[in-house]
Amino acid sequence: MMLIDSEKVCVFIPFAGGSGLSFEALRRAVGTDMPVTGVTYKRRYQKDVTQAPGTVEAMANEVIALIDNLAAREVIVFGYSLGAIVAYEVARRQHEFGPHLIKLVVAACRAPHLFNCAQVTLDDSEEVFLKTVAKFGIIPDFMFKDSAAKHRMLPSLIKDFQAAASYRHLPGEPLGLPMTVLGGSQDPFAPVQDVMAWKEHSQDSIRLEFFEGNHFFLTQHVPAITRMITEPVSPVTLQPVSSQYLDSVSL
């Protein structure tokens, strides 16, 4: 496992089906300010995924092991979609690793107590699964056009969604660290009010920001999101959300 000797490191936790190579443009941008390491779960994109992590807890275990092996003194954790839930569970267990967790950034995800995959069909054919997931802008178009890519990525995608579907939030103390929460104004998988509910999970400063776009709004707003990840940690007042977002989202 790579050791990163740096004052501060950003750890990227991917969306369902993603890997440590996801978020290429954002990783490059953040990487101009600090080292970045992406999480790739074991058995990612392998034909046999039986040994891949099958629960959010198992995913968090792998992330914690990665962080604990970093030589960095401070860590920022960024999680996207399912990765946001994994990041949250990692933050709840920050006493288990050496580097100090100084900020949690989560994006495109309902608050943990509201998280669910009810819109996705997991108990039917692969085609039905892909079609239900595609409605939320989660599936890249090439997976429908390239059979080789589909064959390679689908087992991991299904495994991740099974892990997501089995997740149940266990009540506990709110997190005592700064948190930045990002959402898309037209994201049907993470509606605005459900994203705003992250404030219930922080006893420290929390920043809420919403961007134009759907579930993968990140690709359209890399410079702004880079600033929010890399900006110095300081007390931030809870940001009000424009009524245009609340009025435009069907809950």
* Averaged confidence pLDDT in the chain: 85
Chain mean position to CA 153: 18
Contact 3, 71 (CB under 8 A): yes
* 237 band by pLDDT with thresholds 50, 70 and 90: very low
- What pLDDT is attached to residue 251? 31
- What pLDDT is attached to residue 26? 96
Backbone angles phi, psi at 186, to 5 degrees: -120, 35
* 48 band by pLDDT with thresholds 50, 70 and 90: confident
The tokens for 79 are 């999680």
Residues in the chain, how many? 251
Backbone angles phi, psi at 110, to 5 degrees: -60, 155
Q: What are the residue ranges of helices labelled H in the chain?
A: 24-31, 56-68, 82-92, 126-134, 142-145, 147-166, 192-196, 222-230, 243-248
Count of C-beta atoms within a 10 Å radius of residue 6:
16
- What pLDDT is attached to residue 89? 98
Round to whole Å and give the CA distance between 132 and 129: 5
Q: Name, in order, each residue with C-beta under 8 angstroms of 130's C-beta and a sequence gap of 6 or more.
A: 139, 143, 144, 154
* 250 band by pLDDT with thresholds 50, 70 and 90: very low
Tell me which amino acid residue 95 is: H
Contact 76, 183 (CB under 8 A): no
The tokens for 85 are 């839930």
Contact 112, 155 (CB under 8 A): no
- What pLDDT is attached to residue 133? 77
The tokens for 150 are 């589909």
Q: In order of start, what are the domains of the chain with their CATH numbers? A: 8-248 (3.40.50.1820)
Average pLDDT over residues 215-243: 77
